[in-house]
């Protein structure tokens, strides 16, 4: 029988790696404002979080993660200075029916704010997690959401389409459907085609008049504006085939870090906006080598991180148990510069960090001793 005290002891041993690196232990509230989390993640967060109502503070959520409250704390008290924090405590997430995963578990983490060299900061965080988890036989994996976001920004299409692709980059199936439509590989939805044909034949006002009186949350003016956006999108030329092929190649890219870097540099010939992101990628590889890691032994998967927390916008990483596909990632993390600007109301600071699931580590160690 695994006792919670044993898991906490495991977590405290792991946390010592972070405190030795200069991290300051911090606490975070158990209840977080639902408004804050809904603004960041949208209504999807309700499927993962436990909610309650407070007479004075309104809707609240049991913390599903530590990063958001720690960022909120730093941006309120020290946004202009670098800092290293570590934390340890319970988080709460709903699990799918029939899942064996716990809905309440300990989370241990490390966050690094500031630093003049993002590549070195990325490498420092990854190296610390690599050190904390050594001896467990885990498979490290790295990715870079910044590569995908740069590729999207470099597409020769409208700002509206770029924004839609950025918004859904963390939803792979929706993203692929949008990309297929924007490149002309898939048709417009049948209902949209029918609506636009009626608008073209009769005009927007006539179509809205035929729909009857206003109902629901959207006003007539808002519906009309939405129709105009759909008309504009339908008349937008498809994304160039060469650019779409580069984006598809990026999404399927899997290789050791140095090989991935060379492939990204080659791709930037057809999509020049990718160039600066590829050079930042190269800088990170150099920083990882300086931190004592062997880049040729670190795999890169461009799509890694697309189904995790949506605040990552740069380097992402994870540590997986290859013999236990049933387990969640033992550790994961990444860069989230944009989140600090949101929480700081426009004043941002470079930030990168990650979390470890101590109960998974403890289970792996116990299994190794059996």
Cα atoms in the 13 Å half-sphere on the side-chain side of 158: 14
Domain residue ranges in the chain: 4-152+256-369, 159-241
CATH topology of domain 4-152+256-369: BirA Bifunctional Protein; domain 2 (3.30.930)
**Tokens representing 353?**
């960090």
**Tokens representing 349?**
């600071």
Look at residue 368 in the predicted model and tell me its pLDDT.
58
Say if CB 70 and CB 91 are below 8 A apart.
no
Q: Does residue 211 have a pLDDT over 80?
A: no
Q: Does residue 27 have a pLDDT over 60?
A: yes
Averaged pLDDT, 230-239: 84
Cα atoms in the 13 Å half-sphere on the side-chain side of 361: 28
Percentage helix, strand, coil, to 5, in the chain? 50, 15, 35
Look at residue 56 in the predicted model and tell me its pLDDT.
86
Q: Does residue 43 have a pLDDT over 80?
A: no
Look at residue 122 in the predicted model and tell me its pLDDT.
97
Highest mean pLDDT among 55-59, 163-167, 231-235: 163-167
The mean predicted confidence, pLDDT, of the chain is: 89
Look at residue 370 in the predicted model and tell me its pLDDT.
39
Look at residue 3 in the predicted model and tell me its pLDDT.
79
**Tokens representing 100?**
């064996």
Look at residue 336 in the predicted model and tell me its pLDDT.
93
Percent of the chain past pLDDT 90, that is, above it, reads 56
Averaged pLDDT, 353-365: 94
Confidence of residue 1 (pLDDT cuts 50, 70, 90): low
| Rounded-to-integer distance, Cα 139 and Cα 223, Å | 50
Confidence of residue 350 (pLDDT cuts 50, 70, 90): very high
Look at residue 206 in the predicted model and tell me its pLDDT.
78
**Tokens representing 326?**
């049933």
Averaged pLDDT, 306-335: 88
Pairing of strands 31-33, 58-62: antiparallel
Q: Does residue 28 have a pLDDT over 50?
A: yes
Percent of the chain past pLDDT 70, that is, above it, reads 97
Q: Give 239 or 79, the one with higher predicted confidence.
A: 239
Look at residue 351 in the predicted model and tell me its pLDDT.
95
Averaged pLDDT, 62-74: 91
Q: Does residue 269 have a pLDDT over 70?
A: yes
State the CB neighbour count (10 A cutoff) for residue 112: 24
Averaged pLDDT, 92-105: 82
Q: Report pTM.
A: 0.88
Torsion angle of alpha carbons 195, 174, 162, 354, nearest 10°? 150
* Per-residue pLDDT reduced to its tens digit, 117-150: 999 999 999 999 999 999 999 999 999 999 999 9
| Rounded-to-integer distance, Cα 280 and Cα 147, Å | 9
Contacts of 292 (CB under 8 A, 6+ apart): 127
Q: How many helices (H) and strands (E) does the chain have?
A: 15, 12
Confidence of residue 231 (pLDDT cuts 50, 70, 90): confident
Averaged pLDDT, 60-85: 88
Distances (CA, A) of 318 to 7, 78, 98, 141, 257: 20, 28, 25, 5, 14
């Amino acid at each position: 029988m695994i006792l919670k005290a044993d898991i906490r002891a495991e977590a405290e041993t792991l946390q010592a790696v972070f405190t030795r690196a200069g991290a300051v232990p911090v606490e975070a509230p158990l209840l977080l404002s639902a408004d804050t989390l809904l603004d960041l993640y949208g209504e999807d967060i309700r499927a993962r979080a436990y909610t309650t109502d407070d007479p004075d503070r309104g809707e609240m959520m049991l913390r599903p993660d530590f990063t958001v409250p720690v960022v909120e704390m730093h941006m309120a008290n020290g946004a202009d200075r670098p800092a290293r924090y570590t934390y340890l405590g319970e988080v709460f997430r709903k699990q799918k029916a029939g899942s064996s995963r716990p809905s309440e578990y300990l989370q241990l983490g490390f966050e690094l704010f500031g630093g003049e060299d993002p590549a070195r900061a990325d490498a420092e965080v990854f190296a610390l997690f690599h050190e904390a988890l050594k001896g467990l036989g885990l498979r490290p994996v790295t990715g870079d959401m910044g590569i995908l976001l740069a590729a999207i920004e470099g597409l020769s299409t409208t700002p509206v389409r770029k924004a839609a692709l950025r918004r859904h980059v963390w939803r792979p199936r929706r993203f692929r459907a949008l990309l297929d439509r924007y490149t002309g590989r898939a048709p417009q939805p049948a209902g949209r085609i029918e609506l636009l044909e009626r608008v073209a034949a009769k005009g927007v006002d006539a179509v809205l008049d035929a729909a009857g009186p206003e109902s629901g949350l959207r006003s007539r003016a808002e519906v009309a504006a939405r129709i105009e956006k759909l008309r504009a999108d339908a008349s937008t030329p498809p994304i160039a085939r060469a650019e779409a092929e580069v984006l598809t190649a990026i999404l399927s890219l899997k290789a050791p870090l140095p090989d991935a870097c060379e492939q990204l540099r080659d791709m930037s010939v057809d999509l020049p906006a990718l160039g600066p992101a590829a050079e930042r990628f190269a800088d990170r590889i150099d920083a990882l080598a300086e931190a004592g890691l062997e880049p040729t032994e670190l795999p890169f998967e461009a799509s890694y991180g697309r189904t995790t927390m949506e605040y990552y916008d740069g380097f992402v990483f994870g540590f997986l148990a290859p013999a236990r596909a049933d387990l969640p990632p033992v550790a994961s993390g990444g860069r989230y510069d944009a989140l600090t600007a949101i929480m700081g109301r426009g004043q941002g600071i470079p930030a990168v960090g990650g979390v470890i699931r101590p109960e998974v580590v403890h289970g792996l160690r116990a299994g190794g001793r059996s």
